[in-house]
């Protein structure tokens, strides 16, 4: 998950037809294997290609004998700039997804409850609470020695082309007993993922040593981490939840009057060995930031595509203003006592994404007492899986490994591998796409610490339900007065807080 200090809220809307207030747009997504079921009455057919391009065809037809579609229309590149306008014939096996858009007049008020457009694939869980819709950057799975485990989510703050970024995630629980490592990369959401690279970073690991990365993406050799002897939060003892990186996480509930209200968790250790001390924190966001992301989508409504286009051309000052909501909610601050006994903030981590916990090192200042550490964060915003104290030894440099092979549905995917190895190309994935990346480990040492290095960006698909609350005035307040917005949204969030987790995971793309 990215360590960038927050990112703005963005979405890419692929809708082309405008609809009046007395009509609704029905958007249906069809896998190529079911292309014969595409609505022939749709005036336009959108063909999403595997390389990220998009064809929008009018006067289109289906050739079932030759498994192809044909029509006249417009070809767009991955950024949705026009490439050409012409007559096209597309082989079905070259298409990632078909999409149709039909404007229909509702027969009655009951039509408002129909799951339409993209929602048909998102399931009723998402329709009943649109702000629980599953969203995800590329997810990466690897074996922990017994089973496949979600280990990382790549570039989860890169929600637009201009925010493309390099991301490093610790594969702290991954086990590689042999000479190869396999990572399963999946698109589990209704999104377009544009992956420029997915490399494995490896560092030799000696007994009694671990290798970790800090917020600046620098790698450090550290002594075997020591779990705390005590952990106390507002709820009382929380020690059992933070002593191992095992998926058992400490999570509180958000404040009912102000979503930015902070809480403090205090940890203690018996003593620390001589040398530079550091704290390891394994954490991920809760669904509170996701809820705020989708609330912003809802307020921007049908104008979100225009907002995205303007953001792509904005200066840094404008982008910083758009980031104020993220900054107000904040990350996890790390505090220690100075020589006068005062609690001071030494650093903070802000790992974007609610899916996979990541592990980061925080350096503690020389002269501070490392045996007592406080974590301060917004209530209900962070899941803390693991906290440990360690001694920092030295900086190290990882070895970068590119995938030796890429598999797609048990078939060697030479083209996909070429896209991932060429810095000028990208691998574009759509809902349900899955690739297995195979890496060969060097054979000169026994054990390695493993990290995923990914780069790219992703584009959210607009959900119809997100437009029901369109209010540009409230959208502006999220950026102009984020503190006030977090107070106003607190009661609304508390009404659904306990339901979000189950609804979120049940609204994943069908098949995962």
Q: At 38, which CATH number?
A: 2.30.30
Looking at the structure of the chain, the number of domains it has is: 2
Euclidean distance between CA atoms 380 and 364, whole angstroms: 25
**Residue 178 domain-assigned?**
yes
**Residue 347 domain-assigned?**
yes
**Residue 360 domain-assigned?**
yes
Alpha helices (H) along 301-337 = 304-312, 316-322, 324-329
271 and 157 in a single domain? The answer is: yes
The two structure tokens encoding residue 192: 């377009």
The two structure tokens encoding residue 72: 């006249």
Using CB atoms within 10 Å of the CB of residue 139, give its burial: 0 to 12 exposed, 13 to 18 middle, 19+ buried. buried
**Residue 214 domain-assigned?**
yes
196 and 84 in a single domain? The answer is: no
pLDDT of amino acid 14: 25
**Residue 187 domain-assigned?**
yes
**Residue 210 domain-assigned?**
yes
Helices (H) and strands (E) in the chain, counts: 9, 28
pLDDT of amino acid 420: 97
Asked if 138 contacts 187 with a C-beta cutoff of 8 angstroms, the reply is yes
281 and 167 in a single domain? The answer is: yes
The residue among 57, 80, 104 that closes a domain is: 104
pLDDT of amino acid 5: 34
152 and 223 in a single domain? The answer is: yes
Q: State the 10-residue block means of pLDDT for the chain, 512 residues long.
A: 36 26 50 80 82 84 90 80 85 86 38 28 51 75 92 86 88 88 90 92 92 96 96 98 96 98 97 87 94 86 70 72 86 94 94 92 91 98 98 96 95 94 89 92 83 90 72 91 96 91 67 44
203 and 267 in a single domain? The answer is: yes
pLDDT of amino acid 309: 61
92 and 155 in a single domain? The answer is: no
**Residue 446 domain-assigned?**
no
98 and 149 in a single domain? The answer is: no
249 and 384 in a single domain? The answer is: yes
CATH code, 176: 2.60.120.260
**Residue 175 domain-assigned?**
yes
N residues, the chain: 512
The two structure tokens encoding residue 93: 């096996």
pLDDT of amino acid 273: 74
Asked if 29 contacts 431 with a C-beta cutoff of 8 angstroms, the reply is yes
364 and 497 in a single domain? The answer is: yes
Range of the domain at 69: 25-104
The residue among 61, 80, 104 that closes a domain is: 104
294 and 159 in a single domain? The answer is: yes
67 and 204 in a single domain? The answer is: no
- pTM value is 0.77
66 and 157 in a single domain? The answer is: no
């Amino acid at each position: 998950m990215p360590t960038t200090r927050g990112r703005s809220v963005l979405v890419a809307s692929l809708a082309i037809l405008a609809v009046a207030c007395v009509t609704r747009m029905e958007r249906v997504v069809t896998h190529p294997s079911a292309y014969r079921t595409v609505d022939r009455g749709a005036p336009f057919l959108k063909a999403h290609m595997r390389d990220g391009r998009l064809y929008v065809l009018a006067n289109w037809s289906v050739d079932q004998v030759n498994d192809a579609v044909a029509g006249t229309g417009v070809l767009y590149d991955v950024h949705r700039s026009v490439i050409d306008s012409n007559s096209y014939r597309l082989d079905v096996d070259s298409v990632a997804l078909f999409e149709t858009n039909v404007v229909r007049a509702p027969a009655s008020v009951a039509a408002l409850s129909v799951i339409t457009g993209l929602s048909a694939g998102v399931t009723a869980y998402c329709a009943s609470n649109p702000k629980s819709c599953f969203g995800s950057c590329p997810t990466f799975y690897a074996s922990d020695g017994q089973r496949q485990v979600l280990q990382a989510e790549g570039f989860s703050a890169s929600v637009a082309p201009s925010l493309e970024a390099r991301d490093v995630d610790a594969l702290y629980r991954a086990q590689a007993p042999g000479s190869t490592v396999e990572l399963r990369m999946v698109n589990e959401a209704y999104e377009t993922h544009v992956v420029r690279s997915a490399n494995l970073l490896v560092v030799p690991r000696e007994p009694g040593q671990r290798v970790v990365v800090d917020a600046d993406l620098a790698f450090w050799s550290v002594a075997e981490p020591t779990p705390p002897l005590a952990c106390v939060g507002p709820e009382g003892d929380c020690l059992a939840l933070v002593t191992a990186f095992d998926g058992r996480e400490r999570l509180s509930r958000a404040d009912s009057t102000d979503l930015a209200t902070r809480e403090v968790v205090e940890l203690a250790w018996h003593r620390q060995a001589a040398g530079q001390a550091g704290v390891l924190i394994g954490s991920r966001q809760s669904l509170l930031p996701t809820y705020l992301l989708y609330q912003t989508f809802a307020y921007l409504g049908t104008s979100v595509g225009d907002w995205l286009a303007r953001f792509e051309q904005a200066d840094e000052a404008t982008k910083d203003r758009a980031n104020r909501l993220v900054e107000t909610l904040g990350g996890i601050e790390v505090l220690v006592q100075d020589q006068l006994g005062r609690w001071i903030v030494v650093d903070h981590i802000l790992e974007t994404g609610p899916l996979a916990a990541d592990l980061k090192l925080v350096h503690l200042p020389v002269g501070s007492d490392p045996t007592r550490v406080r974590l301060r964060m917004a209530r209900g915003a962070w899941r803390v899986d693991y906290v440990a104290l360690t001694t920092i030894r030295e900086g190290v440099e990882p070895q970068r490994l590119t995938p030796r092979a890429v598999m797609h549905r048990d078939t060697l995917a030479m083209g996909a591998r070429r896209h991932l190895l060429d810095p000028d190309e990208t691998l574009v994935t759509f809902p349900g796409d899955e690739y297995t990346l195979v890496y060969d480990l060097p054979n000169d040492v026994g054990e390695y610490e493993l990290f995923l290095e990914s780069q790219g960006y992703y584009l959210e698909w607009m959900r119809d339900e997100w437009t029901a609350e369109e209010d540009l005035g409230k959208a502006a307040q999220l950026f102009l007065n984020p503190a006030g917005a977090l107070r106003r949204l607190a009661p609304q969030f508390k009404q659904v807080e306990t339901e979000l987790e189950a609804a979120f995971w049940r609204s994943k793309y069908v098949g995962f």
